[in-house]
Amino acid sequence: MKKIVAFFMAIVVFVSAFSLVIQAESISTYNNHTIRTNTNFYISDTGLAEVYTCYDAYEDVMTEAVVTLTIKKRTLLLFWDEITTFTYSATDTRYYHIFERQLHETGTYKCEVEYVIYGTAGDPDVIPFEDLVTYG
């Protein structure tokens, strides 16, 4: 009986640890200039794609942030057509932006976001994000 309880406890610990890894995938922590980033890609039932980008940086260190966002649509199994690219820059140490784009076709979409955070504490932080979402 003790072995069965220990086995189920091990499964619970494994599942808990695995879910923490999945949740932490879109939240990243970096040390040079960036405290954290948070990115989310979502497509509504009506085809409205939303990309939420957010970063927090160290006040005395960060000088500029450049965020590049790209949405692509899968055309064949391995090929992607670029739908839109958007780049913005900011000098605020805390910043968020919600990008919206109406999609007109169903399919699988890929969102790529790259944060480049510059500052006085060394090389810039380059923080990538990628997510796939199927619409329709």
Greatest extent of the chain over all pairs of C-alpha atoms, in Å:
60
Homologous superfamily, domain 27-135: Immunoglobulins (2.60.40.10)
The whole-angstrom distance between residue 8's C-alpha and the CA centroid of its chain comes to 33
Confidence (pTM): 0.76
Average pLDDT, the chain: 85
Task: Please report, for the chain, the start and end positions of each structural domain, with discontinuous segments joined by +.
Answer: 27-135
97 close to 88: Cβ distance less than 8 angstroms: yes
| 41-70 tens-digit pLDDT | 999 999 999 999 999 999 999 999 999 999
Mean pLDDT score, 109-130: 95
Q: What is the pLDDT of residue 6?
A: 56
